[in-house]
């Protein structure tokens, strides 16, 4: 019998927005995120936010799977503030 290999953890961010009234379907996928819906402006803000989150993860030398929930909250807050979300 072979010993089973340990499963590698994975994580992803999911962004959903529902303020679209122009009939366009917006979907953006990346290595650790999926963004769906929203107006052009809202979708652009979600895109910029996940880019900032990934930049901060890279600066810390970590993957999304490696950060604790409190650390992820801090990273998301920093990213949101730098994007200038209302």
User: For 15-59, what is each residue's pLDDT tens digit?
Assistant: 999 999 999 999 999 999 999 999 999 999 999 999 999 999 999
| Whole-number pLDDT of residue 3 | 63
Distance CA 78, CA 56 (A): 9
Distance CA 33, CA 55 (A): 13
Q: Would you say the C-alpha torsion 43, 69, 75, 81 has a positive or negative sign?
A: positive
| Whole-number pLDDT of residue 27 | 97
| pLDDT at 7 exceeding the cut of 90 | no
| DSSP conformation letters of 30-56 | ETTEEEEE--HHHHHHHHHHHHHHHHH
């Amino acid at each position: 019998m072979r010993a089973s290999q340990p499963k590698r953890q994975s994580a992803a961010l999911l962004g959903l927005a529902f303020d679209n009234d122009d009939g366009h379907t917006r979907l953006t996928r990346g290595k650790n995120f999926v963004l769906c819906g929203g107006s052009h402006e809202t979708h652009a803000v979600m895109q910029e936010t996940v880019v900032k989150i990934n930049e901060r993860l890279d600066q810390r030398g970590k993957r999304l799977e490696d950060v604790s929930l409190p650390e992820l909250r801090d990273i998301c807050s920093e990213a949101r503030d730098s994007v200038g979300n209302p």
